[in-house]
Amino acid sequence: MATTARGWGTKAADAPLEPMSVERRDLRANDVAIAITHAGICHSDLHTCRNDWHNSRYPAVPGHEIVGTVTAVGPDVTKHRVGDTVAVGCMVDSCMECDQCTEGWEVFCEQGNVGTYNGIDKHDGTVTMGGYTDHVVVRDHFVCKVPAGMDVTRVAPLLCAGITTYSPLRQYGVGEGSKVAVVGLGGLGHMGVKLAAAMGAHVTMITTTASKGNDARELGAHDVILSTDAAQMKAAFKRFDFILNTIPVKHDITPYLQLLGRSGRMVLVGMIDMMPEFHSFNLLSMNRAVGGSAIGGIPETQEMLNFCAEKGIYPDCEMIRMDQVNEAYERLLKNDVRYRFVIDMATMGDTA
C-alpha cells in the first residue's frame, strides 16, 4: 500500500529546505522498497532546488546518491531480497526497450530516463522525489547491490561522483601506463584521482590552488601542476593521453588541450553550459578530441561499485545531520567541503 515518507525539500527557488511529507506509491510488480540510511549531497541537488537550470518542479525533494536497506519487494523481483544493502543513483526508470537501454546505457534512453528527483514517472505522471527522505520505492533494475563489507557511510557519493568519473576513465581505456591528468580537485576531481590511480595510471592533478597539492598526493596523484604557473604548464606540453576535466564553471579549455599528446582525449564532466570558443588547430594538429560524459548505465554503475569494493576506494566524506542541509548548501557554494557531504538519515527523527 502507498506510504508517506518523511523528508526535506523546498517549495520554491528562493526558499530553504524544510521538513515535508512525500507520498510513496504502492509497490508495482517489479518495485523495491528501500529504507534510506545515507544520502549524499550533489551540486545538482543545489542547482535543482534553486532552479539554476530553469526546469525545476516544486515542491522539490532532491537526493540521487542513496544507500539503504530493502524492506519489501514486488512479486516479480528476483534480484533483491528483504534485508539487502542496496544503492540508487541518478535515475529510477527508462523505457527498457530501445537500443540504448538494452545495451546497458539506460542513461541515454531514447525516450529519456526518469531522474531520481525532478523527473516524471512513466506510469502515473507524478514528479519523482529523491533521497532526502526516510524511504523510497524504485524499479528493481535501477537498484544496485552494495558489495558485502563496504563502509555504507561512504558509499552514497559513488552513485554520482563515482560513476561520473569512472565511466569516462573506463570508456577511454585508462589503465596501466596511461598518463592521466585530472583538472579540478573537488567532489568529482578527487574521485577521478583515486579511480585513475587504482586503474594503474600515472595521475597528475592540475589545479589553480597551490595548497591543494598535498591533498592531491594524499588522494593518489603522482604529480601536481599549478595551472596558473606558465612554466609548469609549458613543461607539460603534449604530456598526457587523457584529461578528465571536472571544472564546473565556464573556462578556456585551450591551455589544457595543449597538454594532450597525439590522439589525446579530454572529457568534460563538470561544466553544463555554453563554453568559450577555442581554435580548432589545437585538435587538428595532434589528432586530439574533446568529449563529454554523463553518468554510466546501470551495469557500469554496478561494475564501479564492485571495483571500489575490491580496491577499497571511497569518497572523502563529511557526515551531517538532516537539519544541517541548508548550511551544507551554503558551504558547497564556497567549496567548503572535502569532498562530499553525506546525510545520516538516522537523524531524520530529530528534525521532522
> Are residues 98 and 43 part of one domain?
yes
Clarify whether residues 155 and 302 are in a common domain. yes
pLDDT at res. 296: 96
Q: Are residues 149 and 168 in the same domain?
A: no
340 is in which domain, residue-wise?
3-159+298-350
317 and 328 part of one domain: yes
Statement to judge: residues 172 and 192 lie in one domain: yes
305 & 341 share domain: yes
Final residue before a domain boundary, out of 292, 311, 332: 292
Same domain assignment for residues 89 and 228 = no
Q: Are residues 210 and 138 in the same domain?
A: no
* Residue 206 vs residues 74, 251, 333: alpha-carbon distances, Å: 48, 14, 21
Q: What is the dihedral of CA 248, 250, 251, 253, to 10 degrees?
A: 80
Question: Is residue 185 located within the same domain as residue 259?
Answer: yes
CATH number at residue 278: 3.40.50.720
pLDDT at 351: 61
Kindly state whether residues 288 and 312 are assigned to the same domain: no
Predicted pLDDT at 111? 97
DSSP letter string, 15-66: S--EEEEEEEPPPPTTEEEEEEEEEEE-HHHHHHHTTTTS---SSB-----E
Domain at 332, CATH number: 3.90.180.10
CA 288 to chain centroid, in Å, comes to 26
Give which of 206, 157, 183 is closest to 269, Cα–Cα: 183
150 plus 168 within the same structural domain: no
In order along its 352 residues, the chain shows pLDDT tens digits of 689 999 999 999 999 999 999 999 999 999 999 999 999 999 999 999 999 999 999 999 999 999 999 999 999 999 999 999 999 999 999 999 999 999 999 999 999 999 999 999 999 999 999 999 999 999 999 999 999 999 999 999 999 999 999 999 999 999 999 999 999 999 999 999 999 999 999 999 999 988 899 999 999 999 999 999 999 999 999 999 999 999 999 999 999 999 999 999 999 999 888 999 999 999 999 999 999 999 999 999 999 999 999 999 999 999 999 999 999 999 999 989 999 999 999 998 776 5
Can you give the pLDDT at residue 272? 85
Same domain, 272 and 314: no
**How many domains does the chain contain in total?**
2
pTM above 0.85, yes or no: yes
Structural domain ending residue among the three candidates 270, 292, 314: 292
- Which grid coordinates belong to 290? 574533446
Please write the tens of the pLDDT for every residue from 39-92.
999 999 999 999 999 999 999 999 999 999 999 999 999 999 999 999 999 999
